[in-house]
Structure 1
Amino acid sequence: MRTRGKTGLVMASCAALLTTLLGGQVASATSHGAAPREDAPKILTPYPMFSPNGDGVHDRLAVGYQLRVAAPVRIRVEPDTDAKVAPFTVELGRQRAGRHTWTWDGRTPQGRLVPHSYYRIHVITPQGSDYAFAEADLEFGGGLYVEDRYGAKKSVVPKVYPRSEEVRDVVPLTAHAEDGVRRAVVSFRNADGRLVLRRTVRISRRWGGEVVWEGRDGRGRPLPPGRYTGTVSGMDRVGNRGASEPIPLYVSGDRLVWREETRTMAAEEAMTPPCVGSSWPECWAYLPQGEVTPSVQFPGGLTHRADPNPDVWGRAESTYFVRVPEAVRGLDGIRVSFVGAPTNPGETDEGHLSTEASREDGVVVSSSSTGQTPWDEDPVYGDGQEWDSRSKRLPPGAWWEFWTDGDAGDDAFDVASFALDLRYLVVAE
């Protein structure tokens, strides 16, 4: 099922309601509006989705309804979207009280097949009316999506580097299809439309199906550099066959190599706002409990002074983010060290450093002079992607946090500089 246009949300909500009420393929009609009269007609259990494509699979919609009293009956069909079909009415004549069924083949009285859309099916008598939603499903719904973009915009065509020798490069993809599709075919074609690779993938209702694009043919040989496309195709539960819109892909003639480097920087140079990766409004309500100011004893350094008030947390912290946009596949690992000293000479206050402080598995390094974290092989922001739908998209980068903690008795500490070790893949020069 694929919804379109400004009413897509309404359509999807109705479908979810129908499916929830009866489950599976059969869903209950949903009445709306004011309380009906006791002698008004009542829709029973129409099949909410049918596929009038002529293949013999769910081609007709059976609309069951009940009349409280004998009455003339007419059916009115209205598109619930901007589908290019006019509402129409079918006169059924006078019918006795009891249960009846009207069967619709998905065509107008003039014999024209209606387009893919949701429709309201009204049963109308002089005593009142009732209606329910049904879907004329004439399209295979599916799509192929890039799993990792490493901070790039969706408009950027993802590249794969099959000629890399130091790593087997891939672009992870996820195949999605509408409910009821458990198996689909992912096809890759070159710029001329010629099929270069085909893979069958199992589709999970929740997670979709995983497939990787390696830029290689069925024998594992690198494909010629250039543009390619990927599609998902199959048959849905009501018999529609088809393929998704193609997504663009690119095979590069370059190769990827590992790069390891160390960047040394003054603390003030690398500091960034604490909400660097978020656009959530509440994030900017962050209130520091201590203060971070320029250092007197270390030019370019920062003084972290915890709030001495025992009734507050007291932590004075700073966060750091160094962009590494050339990291084609994100950061494989980072390691950070610091140099500093207690703000007040002769004291034993410590500074605390972590690349993982916001995670449950965080490792904290503490020292009165210098310290270094272990290699973090799953760094925060290392893949360059946003954390959620409202967060800003960032290129790959190294993030870490430094603080003093009044609760631990570390009242003030000056950090002079950081040394950042990086490991990542780049395009060979």
Structure 2
Amino acid sequence: MLTLAVALLGVAPAEAASPKVRHAEGLLLVPNNGWTKFSPNGDGSQDRTGFSYRPTRRATVQVTVRDARGAVVRAANLGKQAGGWHYWTWNGRNRHGAYVRDGAYRVTFTATATRHGKQLRDSDTSRAVARTRFDRSPNGIVFVPGVYLDRDAIYRDTTYFKDEFSWNGEFYRTSMQGSLGSRGASRITGPDGGVVYERGERYDGDNQDNTWDGTDEDGVRVPAGTYTLVNTWVDLYGNHLSVTKPLVVGDGSRVEQHHSVTVTPAEARVGTATEPFEFLAGSHKTGFYLTYACPPRASDRFPAGALSFALYDPRCTVSDDTFKVALPVDLDLTFDTVTLTAVGGPTTPGGEGSATLGLTLFTPPARTAAGDEATTVVQTKRGQFQPPANDVTWYVRRETGGYDFKSFTVDIYHYEPPA
């Protein structure tokens, strides 16, 4: 009768009930538990992200994607899987086929298997971050995109030096798994839109330094005209950001101009110290940090306008000053050169004395003046990305004994575009 009642009620006997599902650690492994980054926005760059998983035996696998609030945005039954490694790709769309919003998502894989008539289940979770706008603050460092060109135009027939564009694409610093790098690319297109120069998708250094001499990838000169530089950066999510600059390629040669200016040290002096002063590093006043500096005085040896660098006060430990000469042209320090010639000698004729002389346009090697009527020449070095300068500044510092300067001569070799 009991059996008949069970049959009539449609209840299966106890021994036919579904076996209890037990949690079994080690049935499933999802190794990439870090954050994967992607940009589901349909631009073809990192629109998808993927996850590896490994059931240790044949099992049925399901995957569930939840947002930061725990709501399910996507679920899929991956079916029965053999033991071993598998890969699931998520296109960043929700269950309705729309792209998900920016944010963090938990991706949980669940494997179910049967062993000795018992069902076993195991789950493991990975994570993904979706971002569809360019990340300007990776690692908390604000990125301001910019392309810094050293000139607006080049003239390819110039023979004094190689006239070419140099630019710095600024850097976009990213960090992934402990490594730093700068990701970006530079492309130059012609008036017809054709590509004449292209470099890079990822740079390991902090800066993207590039040059272009007005030739295509085969080394053939391109026609004169206006070209377009496009510098593009890619963040870790796959989002792009671009900045464009016009580049003018002209025929002809730059014209060399030579300008020379000679002044006395007194005329060029811009130092302000008139009495010995104390230089303190921090709040510590010790023998190591304390310096007494004496400005130069009028020279007794050379004519008016000459200056003497000497320790004329017992408290002085150094005698130095700064000088400047206004120039008739604006310097373009990417190819202009400057030569400084200083004439002088020890404070006492026939005595011993020397001084260090150096240009402060940027950081060139300093030269030491020594000997009677010595002439010291310091020449600038051409460098990238230097802004134009309206004057030349240099410094003088006494090294040994006393040293007097009676004249400074600045020679400028400036290169103008052709008329």
> With structure 2 as the length reference, what TM-score do the two structures score?
0.56
Please show how residues 28-427 of structure 1 align to structure 2 within 5 Å: 45-52=33-40, 53=42, 59-60=48-49, 62=51, 77=67, 89-90=71-72, 105-108=91-94, 111-114=97-100, 119-121=103-105, 134-136=129-131, 146=147, 149=150, 158-174=152-168, 186-190=187-191, 194-195=193-194, 197-201=196-200, 203-206=202-205, 210-216=209-215, 220-221=220-221, 223-225=223-225, 227-232=226-231, 244-252=242-250, 255-272=253-270, 289-293=292-296, 295=298, 298-306=303-311, 309=314, 314-322=317-325, 326-330=330-334, 333-340=337-344, 348=351, 350-355=353-358, 362-368=366-372, 370-374=373-377, 376=379, 378=381, 385=386, 395=389, 398-405=392-399, 408-410=400-402, 413-427=403-417
Give the share of equivalent positions with the same residue, in percent. 17
Shift in alpha-carbon separation, 1:331–1:123, aligned structure 2, 3 A? closer
C-alpha separation in 1, matches of 2:395 and 2:232: 47
In structure 2, relative to structure 1, the CA distance for the partners of 1:203 and 1:173 (3 Å cut) is farther
- How many angstroms does 1:91 deviate by? 7.7
For the structure 1 residues 168 and 234, does the alpha-carbon distance in structure 2 shift closer, same or farther, using more than 3 Å as the test? same
Q: How far is the alpha carbon of 1:402 from its aligned partner?
A: 1.9
Give the Å deviation of 1:143.
11
Counterpart-to-counterpart distance in 2, 1:133 and 1:272: 60
Would you say the 8 A contact 2:107–2:127 is kept in 1?
Answer: no
Contact 1:353 1:365 in 2 (8 A): yes
The answer to whether the Cα contact below 8 Å between 1:289 and 1:307 also exists between their aligned partners in 2 is no
SS of 2:323's partner is strand
Hey, what's the Cα distance between the residues in 2 that align with 1:420 and 1:181?
41
Q: Distance in 1 between matches of 2:252 and 2:346?
A: 49
Give the secondary structure class of the aligned counterpart of 1:45: coil
Could you list the runs of 5+ residues in structure 1 that have no partner in the other structure? 1-42, 65-73, 79-86, 94-100, 125-129, 150-156, 275-281, 386-392
User: As a proportion of its length, which structure holds more strand?
Assistant: 2
Number of positions where the alignment pairs a residue of Structure 1 with one of Structure 2: 323
CA contact (8 A) 1:106 1:114 kept: yes
| AA partner of residue 59 (structure 1) | R
Shift of 1:374: 4.1
Per the TM alignment, residue 292 of structure 1 is displaced from its structure 2 partner at its CA by 1.7
Contact 1:144 1:232 in 2 (8 A): no
Alpha-carbon distance between aligned partners in 2 of 1:135 and 1:328, rounded to the nearest angstrom: 46
Deviations 1:346-366 (A, max 9, x none): 673535242379979543121
Q: Is the 8 A contact 1:49 1:61 kept in 2?
A: no
Aligned to 2:6: none
Inter-partner Cα distance in structure 2 for 1:171 and 1:56: 30
- Distance change (3 Å), C-alpha of 1:50 and 1:420: same
Return the alpha-carbon distance in structure 2 between the equivalents of residues 196 and 346 of structure 1.
67
Instruction: Give the structure 2 partner of residue 279 of structure 1.
Output: none
Pick closer, same or farther for the CA change 1:163–1:338 going to 2, 3 Å.
closer
Distance in 1 (CA, whole Å) between partners of 2:281 and 2:194 is 48
Change (3 A) 1:322 1:242: same
Pair 346,377 (structure 1): closer, same or farther in 2 beyond 3 Å: closer
Gaps of 5+ in 2: 1-30, 54-63, 76-86, 109-124, 137-142, 175-180, 273-279, 284-288
RMSD: 5.4
CA distance in 1, matches of 2:394, 2:185: 42
Distance between the aligned counterparts of 2:201 and 2:43, measured in 1? 27
Please give the alpha-carbon distance, in whole angstroms, between the structure 1 residues aligned to 2:281 and 2:245: 35
- Matches of 1:159 and 1:284, distance apart in 2: 47
For each residue in 1:60-103, what CA deviation from the matched residue of structure 2 results, as whole angstroms up to 9, or x when unmatched?
45599xxxxxxxxx97636xxxxxxxx8832899xxxxxxx998
Q: Secondary structure at the match of 2:266?
A: helix
